[in-house]
Amino acid sequence: MKVLGVVVEYNPFHNGHLYHLTEAKSICDADFTVAVMSGNFTQRGEPAIVDKFARTEIALRCGVDLVLELPCVYAVQDAGGFAFGAISSLAATRVVTDIAFGSESADLEALEKIASILVEQPPSYLRFLHEELKKGHSFPNARRIALMRYVAYEKLFDPSTLKITKRSNDILGLEYIVNAKKLGLKTTFHVIKRIGSDYRDENFKGTFSSASAIRRKIKEGDFESAKKALPDESYSIIMREMDAGRGPVFYEDMEKLILGTFRTMTRDELNEFAGFNEGLDQRFVYYAVRSGTVQEFLESVKAKRFTFSRLRRLSVYPILKMRKKLVEESNEKGPQYLRVLGFNEKGRQLLQLIKRLAPIPIVTNASNYLNISKKATKKERYEHFEPDLFKDQFELDIRATNVHSIFFTNSEERSYERDMRLGPVIIVSKPWNRHN
């Protein structure tokens, strides 16, 4: 039995995602497909354009069998933390045999070689890395240059191969392989060459446009263009959500909340949360009172060594309460649950199997989470289960949902405590009927 695992945000699910999914399923001849998906906040530090239940439904309609939530504590971290949480979740299912990811280079061999260096961390590589960081490079850049120097120094392989550590999907893929190696997984990796535009390319390119270009079209109200880049299932569900006033939600909607939060915090208070090192605590506090918009705020805080994604993530940490302690423990001990966001008939079968094998509890009905944790402490199979960490990780997911829904246009939908009231999305019907 082949079970394909993918790590996704689907913000929103577009034609490129559909191509990737179809290719991946075909390449590894998958019997089942399970996706680990970010919840209501993404790795760019943004609220998702429509909420996780809607994005789950789209994923199921488009060919995923089971959708699990990547806990927020990992979803809103850098590539390293994100990949650790995602690969740990896929590993915890105990059923995933293959993992596929999109890649600009599609050079799996090179990624494997580089991953080995990153896992083994030879001293001369670490020295180069340290030197490059001291020069003020951002971490991804410093790492890329250090790798290049190391590979040239040790004459391992053609350093030009390392140009692939420059592009976002390759960077994430690399982290997937690194984390799988560290966890000792025997999963087979597959790369799918990305088609169409880079995810950072905000220019709309028609059928194969990036998620950010599509979000921008939706923000501008140009739904006709967005439609061209989205599978019908995705477009219909997004429109349905918008009609109901559950989105679209954008980072800029959080402007007053973000400015209000940072204008009233001291550096000490900020340091309770993860990531405010390298003088960032001071920069955030200093510029909050000197910026009139979130855009201006991030641009002021920005320095060469920080990426915008990192700053945007940090800008939501005090709101979501991403505490230092929680992030550190989570990065050491891994996710403490598998949250089921939705499944189809095949997904249900797979879930039965996962329930029997997983080393951490499965959360299907979120409102029951405290009970699930209580029972889990008594189960022998969950020998490494940490109830306090479970609670902290899970309550962060709930908070993220409750912050996200504040920005729904329909105020009645805002007051609906979604995680507590909605069960998983279950699709038992025949394939999507376009005329319904």
Interaction site with its own copies (CB under 8 A)? 253-254, 256-257, 259-261, 263-264, 289-293, 296, 319-321, 399, 402-403, 406-408, 410-415, 417
Residue 38 CA to residue 9 CA, distance in Å, equals 5
Based on CB atoms, which residue is closest to its own copies, 16 or 248?
Answer: 248
Q: How far is the CB of 392 from its own copies (least distance, A)?
A: 11
Q: How far is the CB of 224 from its own copies (least distance, A)?
A: 30
CB-based contacts of 342: which residues, under 8 Å, 6+ apart? 53, 56, 57, 59, 60, 66, 67, 424, 425, 426, 427
Residue 72 CA to residue 36 CA, distance in Å, equals 12
Based on CB atoms, which residue is closest to its own copies, 269 or 328?
Answer: 269
Based on CB atoms, which residue is closest to its own copies, 259 or 427?
Answer: 259
CB-based contact 103:169 (threshold 8 Å): yes
Two structure tokens written together for 379? 């189960």
Q: How far is the CB of 38 from its own copies (least distance, A)?
A: 19
How many CA atoms are closer than 13 Å to the CA of 288, on its beta-carbon side?
23
Based on CB atoms, which residue is closest to its own copies, 179 or 315?
Answer: 315
CB-based contact 33:1 (threshold 8 Å): no
Q: How far is the CB of 414 from its own copies (least distance, A)?
A: 4
Q: Residue 182 gets which letter from DSSP?
A: H
Based on CB atoms, which residue is closest to its own copies, 365 or 410?
Answer: 410
Task: Report which of 168, 166, 124 is spatially closest to residue 145, judged by C-alpha positions.
Answer: 166
CB-based contacts of 142: which residues, under 8 Å, 6+ apart? 129, 132, 133, 135
Q: How far is the CB of 185 from its own copies (least distance, A)?
A: 35
CB-based contacts of 239: which residues, under 8 Å, 6+ apart? 223
Q: What values do phi and psi take at 207, rounded to 5?
A: -45, -45
Element (H, E) at 125: helix 123-134
Q: How far is the CB of 219 from its own copies (least distance, A)?
A: 18
Based on CB atoms, which residue is closest to its own copies, 156 or 420?
Answer: 420
Q: How far is the CB of 98 from its own copies (least distance, A)?
A: 38
Based on CB atoms, which residue is closest to its own copies, 27 or 422?
Answer: 422
The β-bridge relationship of strands 338-344 and 66-70 is antiparallel
Phi-psi region at 410: left, alpha or beta (left = phi > 0; alpha = psi -120 to 50):
beta
Q: How far is the CB of 263 from its own copies (least distance, A)?
A: 4
Q: What is the residue type of 382? A: Y
In the chain, helix, strand, coil percent, each to 5?
A: 55, 10, 35
Based on CB atoms, which residue is closest to its own copies, 138 or 410?
Answer: 410
CA 410 to chain centre: 26
Residue 101 CA to residue 39 CA, distance in Å, equals 19
Based on CB atoms, which residue is closest to its own copies, 421 or 435?
Answer: 421
Q: How far is the CB of 415 from its own copies (least distance, A)?
A: 4
The β-bridge relationship of strands 188-193 and 98-103 is parallel
Q: How far is the CB of 141 from its own copies (least distance, A)?
A: 30
Based on CB atoms, which residue is closest to its own copies, 232 or 299?
Answer: 299
